[in-house]
Chain A
Amino acid sequence: MSTRTRADAAARRAARPAKTNRIGLEKTSYRGRPSTLCKGCGHDSISQRIVNAAWEMGLDQTQVVKLSGIGCSSKTPAYYLGWSHGFNSLHGRMPSVATGAVIANSSLEVIGVSGDGDTASIGIGQFKHAVRRNLPLIYIVENNGVYGLTKGQFSATADEGQFLKYQGVNDLPPLDICMEALTANATFVARSFAGDPKQLEALLKAAINHRGIAVLDIVSPCVTFNNHDTSTKSYGFGRANEIRLHDLNFVPEFEEIEIEDYEDELEVELHDGGSIVLKKIDPDHDPTDRTAAYNVIQQSLDEQKLITGLLYINEGEPTLTELLNLTDTPLTHLPDERLRPSREALEGVMATLA
């Protein structure tokens, strides 16, 4: 038992120089407004992981935008990265807003947050099309299998046979967000658990440096409506049934970290710098192999296990903005004269209409 007092701790904190990241900011600079979600909500842990990852990566928040749809999860962008522009848009429509933002200013780091209702029900179309376009976007699904803000209805990721107080038994099979992402040709598919901070932070950092769309399906228990142990989206289930495919480490390019050699270690270089190092627990899983990813997801469904980690990654595919062949200078930074035709060019078209 500690004999140190609270006053001692405060004095020590004051004496110690504040810890800053590589752009000279303290972690507190990466916070947002106070959360209004229920105490213990998995979403708040995820917000905290975003704060940590962004701070440790030394992200310039002014070059980050936070987008969301509608729902409990979609409220969270107000709770982290207070210096970043945020847009709490429409239910299920975050991907289209993100598409416009990315095209307008391709230098922005875009973090989209959504929920299982927002993504797998009303927004399944936009979700899959954003994935198909390989939009440079971090797409976080805070997945709790239930509608929180409207007070506890089933979502499309709810377990088959699940019982909810007001709805009774769900007799439809769930949609699996990672499976949906994979079939839409996602280039980064990961599953994690709000109660697994270390893994989640490594995945977030890797997602930040991934070239195209990074889909993170994060099981995030709803403490109010869906946290009983029979739910695969509960803390209890997650803790008891999480199987990590690998130990994950993100190695940023600005840090020289010696990692001890591991058998079955795999290092994937990321397009925007750094690499993710996977120390395989399951020696059969190769995250650059799509078929292996399908198999892992199917296995987790069959065995009712929460298999977490980087399921699939492919750094080779061009992103939407690359395919559009836009100027390297973001469109929003181009001066007027570069955003309109020359007089001669317009007159050339006029001549064909005369």
Chain B
Amino acid sequence: MSVAVREAPVVKPDAPAAVNDFAINVATANGSGSQTSNGVLLRALFKMGIPINGKNLFPSNIQGLPTWYIIRLSKDGFLARREITDIQVCMNGRTVAEDMERAAPGGIVIYDDSLPIANKRNDVTYYGMPVKDLVKEAKLPHALRDYVANMVYVGVLAELLGIEPAEIEAALLHHFEGKEKAAGLNMEMVNRAIDWASVHVGHHDGYRIERMTGFNEGKILVDGNTAGALGALAGGLSLASWYPITPSSSLAESIEKYAPALRTDPDTGKATVAVIQAEDELAAIGMVVGAGWTGARAMTCTSGPGISLMSEFAGLAYFAEVPAVIWDIQRMGPSTGLPTRTSQGDIHAAYYLGHGDTRHVVLFPANPAECFEFGRIAFDLAEELQTLVFVLSDLDLGMNAHISEPFAYSDAPFRRGKVLSAEDLEERQGSWGRYMDVDGDGVAYRTLPGTRHNMAAYFTRGTGHNEYGYYSERPDDWEQNLERLKRKFETARQLVPRPVLEEVEGAQVGIISLGSNHDGVDEARARLAATGLSTNYLRLRALPIDESVRRFIEENRTVFVIEANSDGQLHAILTTEEPAHALKLISMAKCDGLPLSARYIVEQVQEALEEELI
């Protein structure tokens, strides 16, 4: 066995030991099994009670290209991406040089000692791991060697930082769904690495992990796509049709995974939900529109390129007033863009999707619990408003695991909206108009195909129609219909989830943001408050905006609109819809494919302060 010598840094970190408060960056090659080792690390830390978040920065590739996994530990519960890397794990020869540079002064670099190492810095502690030797000694089946090699760094980190081996073992069992043999093989590698590290590495003085309480109790560790799938299944989903696209595929696959347990009819043993992998995104949304029109709760999930393809059907659903739900797990556009990088670049596309005058209801979940909730209520809104509802998640929220409140069970009746039954029609003596605004809220009554009444039928079309659904090119019919659709959109303002407000006495600077930016905003506000700048915060959860957004802008001197795209799309929408306050709105749009960090927000706000913008 090769012997690694602990190389003491010339510059010892002066800072006190960081306990449960640092970031680990693991650099591996895609497809090398690092998802298992990183997932196991994250879960073990979660089970030790430590507030953590893991962000997977992966390439658009099956095998070979570099992948980074960033684990943030924060005893205070700040879980945004941290721009500083305290501990760097290097397992990828192609990137080892730049990876080693990433470690902050005083930090640690752990590397596979077979990698080509160039210059070492003198402000970092290095530990070379004899990965090849340890794997060889474990005498594992040949086919598995590459996959378990990553368990070496899990063991070394465990020994170095103090991760409890029992939690690693439990996490492995969880990962392999109770299969003891697979978990055991991996654990053997972890144990060998721990043994080696106990001799050659020892515990680190600067960084420690200690079991803690007060944060993770009662919580779950889950990604937003799983949460959305569970929410949809809980909300009466009858048809999910989809076409594979990163980063939304795992949402559909989660529906497939959980449907047997959640949606098998206990009386008959048959399915109460269908999942169809369509031939393309046009067919996927077409099926949703067909099912929604027939009276079933249906959804599709996709990402930017799929949204582009769904545009024509989105306009049809809006104009023919068919309930439908589209989940957009946003990735970086334009075009194919960065398929495996996060973004909030589809806000405009979703809000206005379709030709002519079209606006849609758009929901912005910020965490898995909201993905679950919106997965359910998106159907209520779609059916109540008889329209298309978007749920805009993103890659960071959708594919990365987050600590979340457990999902609340609801047996509230589904809100099906205005649907006339055969009995209702009998009472009205068959007199009704599909697009007639009887109640003044812009939402007309519909009937479902199969309603056993000879006055139930109407003709659905994307062409001009009058109140009875008959084809019409009359200017007055056209204008009245669009006016009613506008009234309906006003009704939508009252029905969509309200913004979440956090207001501070005396604060005059506001922040409006949405979705997965929350972690970054939350931490930035705390840091700004520490410098004496307190801020108010409105987390938008839906479009169209309601009255509270206007009030928020009115009440603040300046409002930063923070979003992860390049053009400041939400800023543009707010400017358009609240033109009287447009000059108060400052766009803070960041578009580099990475989840927003607190540092970026703090620096931008401070810069603006210096420029006396606020």
Contact = CB atoms under 8 A, between A and B. Distances in A.
A326 B270 contact: yes
B406 A354 contact: yes
Interface in A71-93: 77-78, 82-90, 93
B216 to A, nearest CB: 10
A317 B253 CA distance: 27
Interface residues on A, range: 35 or more
A319 interface: no
A100 B293 contact: yes
Contact of B296 (A82, A89, A104, A342): A104
Interface in A37-87: 60-63, 65, 67, 77-78, 82-87
Contact of A346 (B239, B289, B290, B407): B407
Contacts of A86: 457-460
B471 interface: yes
Contact of A85 (B239, B272, B456, B462): B456
Contacts of A336: 236, 413-414
B287 A97 contact: yes
A324 interface: yes
A186 to B, nearest CB: 16
A324 B471 contact: no
A338 B320 CA distance: 29
B271 A326 contact: yes
B279 A62 contact: no
A105 B449 CA distance: 9
**Interface-central residue, A87, A108, A326, A337, by most chain B CB under 10 Å:** A87
Contacts of B454: 29, 61-62, 83
9 contacts: A61-B457, A89-B290, A90-B462, A96-B290, A100-B288, A100-B292, A336-B413, A343-B411, A350-B407
B502 interface: no
B295 A105 contact: yes
B450 A108 contact: yes
Contacts, number: 225
A103 B287 contact: yes
Contacts of B448: 85, 105, 332
Contacts of A125: 279-280, 283
A97 B293 contact: yes
A98 B407 CA distance: 34
Contact of B457 (A83, A89, A339): A83
Given A89-B462, A330-B450, A350-B407, A82 B457 contact: yes
B318 to A, nearest CB: 13
B197 interface: no
Given A100-B292, A107-B450, A354 B220 contact: yes
CB-CB nearest 7 A-B residue pairs: A100-B290, A96-B286, A104-B296, A100-B291, A97-B290, A104-B294, A341-B262
Nearest to B239: A103
Interface stretch (B82-90, B227-235, B572-580): B227-235
B298 interface: yes
Interface of B: 174, 219-222, 226, 230, 233-236, 238-239, 241, 258, 261-263, 265-266, 268, 270-274, 276, 278-280, 282-298, 312-313, 316, 320, 406-407, 409, 411, 413-414, 447-454, 456-463, 470-471
Nearest to A87: B460
B241 A100 contact: yes
Interface in A324-354: 324-328, 330-332, 334, 336-343, 345-350, 352-354
Contact of A353 (B222, B292, B413, B414): B222
Nearest to B258: A349
B471 A78 contact: yes
B268 to A, nearest CB: 6
Contacts of B457: 61-62, 82-86
Given A103-B239, A332-B448, A350-B406, A340 B234 contact: yes
Given A96-B286, A101-B449, A346-B234, A338 B272 contact: yes
B286 A101 contact: no
Contact of B261 (A29, A95, A349): A349
Contacts of B451: 62
Contacts of A93: 282-283, 286, 312-313
Given A61-B457, A100-B292, 20 more contacts: A62-B452, A82-B457, A83-B456, A87-B320, A88-B459, A88-B462, A89-B460, A93-B312, A95-B286, A100-B286, A100-B294, A100-B298, A129-B279, A328-B268, A328-B270, A332-B448, A338-B265, A339-B263, A340-B236, A341-B263
A99 B300 CA distance: 14
A78 B459 contact: yes
Interface in A131-152: none
Contacts of B312: 90, 93
Interface in A100-120: 100-105, 107-108
A167 B297 CA distance: 45
A288 interface: no
B313 to A, nearest CB: 6
A85 B460 contact: yes
Nearest to B283: A96
Contacts of A170: none
Contact of A87 (B174, B293, B296, B450): B293
Given A82-B457, A324-B271, A101 B409 contact: no
Nearest to B268: A327
Nearest to A93: B286
B498 to A, nearest CB: 25
**Interface-central residue, B261, B291, B449, B452, by most chain A CB under 10 Å:** B449
B409 to A, nearest CB: 5
B450 A327 contact: no
Nearest to B376: A340
B226 to A, nearest CB: 8
B238 A103 contact: yes
A126 B294 contact: no
Interface in A281-328: 324-328
B283 A98 contact: no
A345 B276 CA distance: 23
Given A108-B450, A339-B236, A353-B220, A85 B274 contact: no
A332 to B, nearest CB: 4
B414 A105 contact: no
A338 B286 CA distance: 25
Contacts of B470: 33
A36 to B, nearest CB: 8
A95 to B, nearest CB: 8
Contacts of A126: 279, 282-283, 286
B474 to A, nearest CB: 15
Contact of B230 (A108, A327, A349): A349
Nearest to B447: A85
Interface string A20-43: 000000000100010000000000
A63 B550 CA distance: 49
